[in-house]
Structure 1
């Protein structure tokens, strides 16, 4: 209720400031009538003294008395009120003042009731930051954590909680600083150091820097089976040009992976990509005759694997395109037919196979 009282007082003050000039016809004079009467009496005494001393003539004395009387009459006229003010005009001015005093606040309340939220209680930020619960806004939680860490920069527990949040938000520089603060003010563990290494890698745009390698190596000292540290150190081998060593490290990581590990699929995809890149580089380095023979061997190997069963749309598309590029149209058409049979339950895959067959001119002309 205090806020409403303040609003009411402010509204009243604003209306009073507007209506005050309307309630007065004109400004009053600075001198009051009592002073004018005293001045008239003093002037009369002065005139009588001057006349008694023969300092002025009788006619001049009468003229001075008349002038003083006129001034007194003017002052007395000011005392009666503003000239020209009538009772009807005074009533109209008072009515307009009362109307404004009542309508302006009512109009303001009506507008606020239509467009405002009078039923909501105030929610200052400081009070919201003190609240908890599952419905609390995440941004406010984060702001509370940041405010706490600004006031307590050596709180290792707080830094350990906020670092993964920064990492998920893509704030890699902040994440690296938070992980580093956790290690500096607390007791480092393997996951903390692996997170620090990952944040530094992402901050550097995917490059495994020397600082990141140091953190990852420390993580492996504490736990040689740390999957995240092993994955990024394998990536470091690849960046150093040791592709075989990187693939071997990732394959060993898969061999040690627990059943149903969520990250196993990403590791397999990475191994396949690295092997494909390595195979392309090796084939490109061969002489022309050997290169063609190697390509045919790779295509035949893919065909044998797919003929055994299964196969994905990208694999079938790669086989069909390879057959067509090598000039074996019949084998390409046979691959299209087999792919349609294997992917018959996937309408989108069938449409993609048909589009590829059209692109490579593999569809047989109908009689």
Structure 2
């Protein structure tokens, strides 16, 4: 009902804006025509006096008399029509007013009927929040949960539902508060505690804070195999300068990972980065004479590992480039062949290896 009242007010305002200029005829110069005639007669008398005093010439006096006479005749003709409006102009103005009064609402109704949805019932938010959740979209369902939590802030289950969503949406402060509420009002479990630690880390810009460490340690205490908590605790070791301990922790985590664990690839990349950084730091600390031997030992160690366990395209590529830089092109060609054999089911990887072999001039030339 309120929407129709608003529509009626808007229509009335539009009609008023159209009728206002039409409701005023041409404004006369004087409210009373008699005053105008008196003024013009006085002007003619003044012209006669100016001629008698020889202030103006005959030609100027004749022009002034003609102008005053025209104004006097116009005022005398307007006396029978108020404000100078003729009967025909009054009829046109009334017809325009009637046309505007009828056409504006009719046009509005036609446009609404063509483009609007007059048959749809009202859909207030409060009513939609009470509908069956299975028939609601995600945003509405999420708003329903948030409204419920505002009314029942001690519902640990509700906080446990919204906390991961906040975390995925990048609302890290909200996620940390939601995880903390789930822990405070419910029975803490390892996943909730690990989520609380991650949210606190992300809210701190990637720094593993003391509060985050406490949550992660509690999660590992409840479940020593909690992968998320172990990963962030390994990052905490790296943050503290214990690079060797962080590498060991990530290696142990990967050793316990299931073959199809989706998070393993990300952990493996982080481990490779840590190992590369540790290797560079260790080599940089050596004397110049020992640096070349240390680099070759690292390359040989990587070659042995890939030969025994296989690896990713990135690992094979790193080994091939390292062997080429060391001037051992024969070993690099053998590595290319081995990589092609191990990655034979990966078409894009084989293409990348061919490109790499051509770039490093490792392709066998025909005799």
Using structure 1 for the length normalisation, give the TM-score. Answer: 0.67
CA displacement, residues 161-211 of structure 1 (integer Å, 9 cap, x when unaligned):
222211111111111122223333444333322221111111122221111
Does residue 201 of structure 2 align to residue 201 of structure 1? Answer: yes
- Note closer, same or farther for the CA distance 1:269–1:333 as it changes in structure 2 (3 Å cut): closer
CA RMSD for the aligned pairs?
Answer: 4.0
Unmatched 5+ residue regions in structure 2? 27-80
Gaps (5+ residues) in structure 1? 27-80
Name the structure 2 match of 1:134.
134
Structure-2 separation of matches of 1:246 and 1:229: 13
Equivalent position of 1:220 in the other structure: 220
Larger RCO (CA within 8 A; separation ≥ 6): 2
Task: Supply the distance in 2 between the matched residues of 1:158 and 1:291 (Cα, whole angstroms).
Answer: 57
Provide closer, same or farther for how the CA distance between residues 114 and 307 of structure 1 changes in structure 2, counting only shifts above 3 A: same
Aligned match of 1:59: none
Counterparts of residues 1-367 of structure 1 (less than 5 Å): 3-4=3-4, 7=7, 11=11, 15=15, 95-254=95-254, 256-257=256-257, 260-306=260-306, 311-340=311-340, 343=343, 346-363=346-363
Distance between the aligned counterparts of 1:325 and 1:259, measured in 2?
34
Deviates more, 1:131-140 or 1:343-352: 343-352
Separation in 2 of the partners of 1:279 and 1:244? Answer: 11
Q: Which residue in the other structure is 2:55 paired with?
A: none
Q: Deviations over 1:9-46 (max 9, x none)?
A: 764686478659968989xxxxxxxxxxxxxxxxxxxx
In the aligned structure 1, how far is the partner of 2:300 from the partner of 2:222? 46
1:63 corresponds to: none
TM-score by length of 2: 0.67
Gap change, CA 1:267 and 1:352, over 3 Å in 2: closer
Q: Please tell me whether the aligned partners of residues 163 and 178 of structure 1 are also in contact (alpha carbons under 8 angstroms).
A: yes
Contact 2:22 2:96 in 1 (8 A): no
Contact 1:234 1:245 in 2 (8 A): yes
Q: Which has the larger radius of gyration?
A: 1
Does structure 2 conserve the Cα–Cα contact (< 8 Å) formed by 1:156 and 1:186? yes
How far 1:336 moved relative to its partner?
Answer: 3.9
State how many pairs are aligned.
316
- C-alpha separation in 1, matches of 2:10 and 2:301: 87
